């Protein structure tokens, strides 16, 4: 149906509709679905391992934390200019440009080890190349956020918003399931030494480059431009300020709680792989009939854990979205926030057991249960036709506030010393960083529970 038509209450969002359209080979859905899958796969199977890759190349915990903070900067500032570029040059060329940038970013990560012997101040040119690659690799991932929200809002009835978002998230996150498992398979033949980690991850990056090229070519060649629209010029900072002022009041408690939860999680998110591979050093020994014992290194097992996490996420998102229609959006969102908050302290204090870690990452998958409801709660109060602006404004403000989180986490992990005397001011540790992360996340969860508003369509 046209995006301008009012959705009927009887037209329910089908969570499997994205897959049905894909297999029906409708041209527009096929093109965008292939691109979405390709770039999500490439970024997901690489980004979660970047801390391990950087450690193998000699980066310190502080540098890894700074890498996470730069990623937060990119996530915060890309959506606005990305949307403006799309409005000016059309979706086809914007998609191609962003896809090409992401592919080049993966390529820079791939060749970075060749630059490891070239010193740049206290670090190496390899680490510098990884930071530059990050600015490029996230280009496609951060594109079109507000537009996708607006399309869902205008395509389903208000009481079906959570189910509508569950439909889009299910397809996109299928790549999040496949990517880590593919990374685990590529890590399998290698050991845990730094040289093995570098070679194995270069193979993963090579796969990411191939998928990036595929996604870029498919979307450029097959994308239909007949319906492309060209918008007005971006009004600059004044437009951003106006959008911030126009944000619905109901969103403010959600924004505050969400920001605190994401800040806490952002402090340690980039270090999850380090905890598994270098702090706990847990792999997996699995007896296989007729073969013997299957040994997975910590690096390979981390990919399996990520796959398990996403499998749980895919299983719970749709039931949680349906549950939101009965109990409301707020309780479902609060459950997701609570899982975000609690996971860091559970992980850093976990026993060195493959089974315990599997249970923890399965539990972590429950945080995605609240994601469709969360998105519905963001865009629900917006006036019709303003969903994209409200969403873009919400994420811009939240992501700006979360920017320093990863650097702070790295600082608390490494400790703080007086730069003049060298005397230790704060004895850092992984446990300290992860505990403070959980405290901040729990404060955000409680705040949302106390002051958050329910979207009236779900009351």
Using the predicted structure, report yes or no on whether residue 271 has a pLDDT greater than 90: yes
pLDDT band at 4 (very low <50, low <70, confident <90, very high): very low
Using the predicted structure, report yes or no on whether residue 390 has a pLDDT greater than 90: no
Residue 408's alpha-carbon distances to 77, 403, 413, 414, in angstroms, are 20, 10, 9, 10
- pLDDT score, position 144: 45
Which residue would you say has higher pLDDT here, 27 or 343? 343
- pLDDT score, position 28: 47
Q: How many CB atoms lie within 10 A of CB 159?
A: 18
Across 16-25, 136-145, 288-297, the highest mean pLDDT is recorded for 288-297
Using the predicted structure, report yes or no on whether residue 8 has a pLDDT greater than 50: no
- pLDDT score, position 304: 96
Using the predicted structure, report yes or no on whether residue 140 has a pLDDT greater than 80: no
pLDDT band at 98 (very low <50, low <70, confident <90, very high): confident
Using the predicted structure, report yes or no on whether residue 342 has a pLDDT greater than 90: yes
350-359 — which CB contacts under 8 Å span 24+ positions? 350/280, 352/280, 352/281, 352/282, 353/282, 354/282, 354/283, 354/284, 354/285, 354/301, 357/276, 357/280, 357/282, 357/301, 357/305, 358/305, 358/308
Which residue would you say has higher pLDDT here, 173 or 270? 270
Which residue would you say has higher pLDDT here, 415 or 67? 67
User: How is residue 5 written in tokens?
Assistant: 């038509």
pLDDT band at 248 (very low <50, low <70, confident <90, very high): confident
Which residue would you say has higher pLDDT here, 54 or 84? 54
- pLDDT score, position 133: 95
Question: Model's pTM, two decimal places?
Answer: 0.84
Average of per-residue pLDDT values in the chain? 81
Domains with residue ranges and CATH for the chain: 17-225+235-458 (1.20.1250.20)
Which residue would you say has higher pLDDT here, 290 or 147? 290
Using the predicted structure, report yes or no on whether residue 459 has a pLDDT greater than 70: no
- Are 98 and 220 a contacting pair, CB within 8 Å? no
Rounded Cα gap, residues 201 and 193, in angstroms: 12
- pLDDT score, position 125: 95
What's the farthest any 2 CA atoms get from each other in the chain?
70
- pLDDT score, position 231: 44
- pLDDT score, position 432: 95
Rounded Cα gap, residues 183 and 218, in angstroms: 24
Question: What percent of the chain lies above the pLDDT cut of 70?
Answer: 73
Which residue would you say has higher pLDDT here, 307 or 157? 307
pLDDT band at 174 (very low <50, low <70, confident <90, very high): confident
């Amino acid at each position: 149906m046209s995006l301008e038509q009012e959705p009927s209450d009887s037209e329910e969002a089908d969570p499997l509709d994205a897959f049905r359209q894909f297999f029906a080979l409708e041209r527009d859905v096929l093109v965008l679905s292939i691109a979405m899958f390709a770039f999500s796969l490439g970024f997901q199977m690489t980004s979660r391992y970047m801390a391990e890759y950087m450690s193998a190349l000699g980066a310190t915990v502080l540098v890894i934390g700074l890498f996470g903070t730069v990623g937060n900067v990119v996530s915060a500032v890309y959506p606005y200019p990305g949307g403006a570029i799309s409005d000016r040059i059309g979706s086809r060329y914007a998609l191609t440009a962003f896809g090409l940038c992401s592919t080049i970013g993966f390529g820079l990560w791939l060749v970075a080890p060749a630059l490891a012997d070239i010193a740049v101040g206290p670090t190496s040119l390899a680490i510098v190349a990884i930071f530059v690659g990050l600015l490029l690799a996230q280009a496609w991932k951060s594109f079109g956020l507000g537009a996708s929200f607006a399309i869902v809002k205008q395509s389903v009835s208000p009481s079906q918003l959570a189910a509508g978002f569950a439909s889009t998230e299910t397809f996109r996150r299928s790549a999040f399931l496949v990517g880590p498992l593919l990374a685990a398979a590529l890590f399998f033949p290698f050991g845990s030494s730094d040289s093995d980690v570098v070679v194995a991850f270069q193979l993963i990056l090579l796969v990411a480059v191939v998928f990036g090229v595929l996604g870029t070519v498919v979307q450029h060649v097959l994308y239909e431009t007949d319906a492309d629209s060209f918008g007005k010029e971006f009004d600059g900072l004044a437009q951003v300020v106006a959008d911030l002022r126009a944000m619905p009041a109901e969103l403010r408690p959600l924004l505050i709680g969400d920001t605190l939860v994401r800040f806490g999680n952002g402090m340690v998110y980039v270090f999850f792989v380090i905890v598994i591979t270098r702090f706990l050093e847990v792999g997996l020994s699995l007896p296989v009939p007729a073969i013997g014992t299957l040994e997975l290194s910590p690096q390979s097992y981390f990919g399996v854990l990520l796959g398990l996490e996403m499998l749980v996420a895919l299983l719970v998102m749709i039931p949680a979205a349906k549950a939101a229609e009965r109990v409301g959006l707020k309780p479902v969102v609060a459950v997701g926030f609570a899982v975000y908050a609690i996971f860091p302290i559970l992980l850093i204090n976990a026993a060195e057991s493959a089974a315990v870690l599997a249970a923890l990452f399965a539990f972590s998958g429950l945080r995605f249960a609240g994601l469709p409801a969360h998105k519905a709660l963001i865009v629900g109060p917006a006036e019709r036709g303003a969903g994209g602006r409200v969403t873009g404004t919400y994420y811009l403000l939240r992501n700006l506030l979360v920017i320093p989180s990863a650097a702070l986490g790295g600082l608390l992990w490494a400790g703080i010393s007086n730069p003049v005397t060298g005397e230790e001011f704060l004895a850092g540790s992984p446990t300290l960083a992860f505990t403070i992360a959980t405290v901040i996340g729990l404060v955000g969860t409680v705040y949302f529970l106390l002051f958050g508003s329910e979207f009236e369509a779900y009351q």
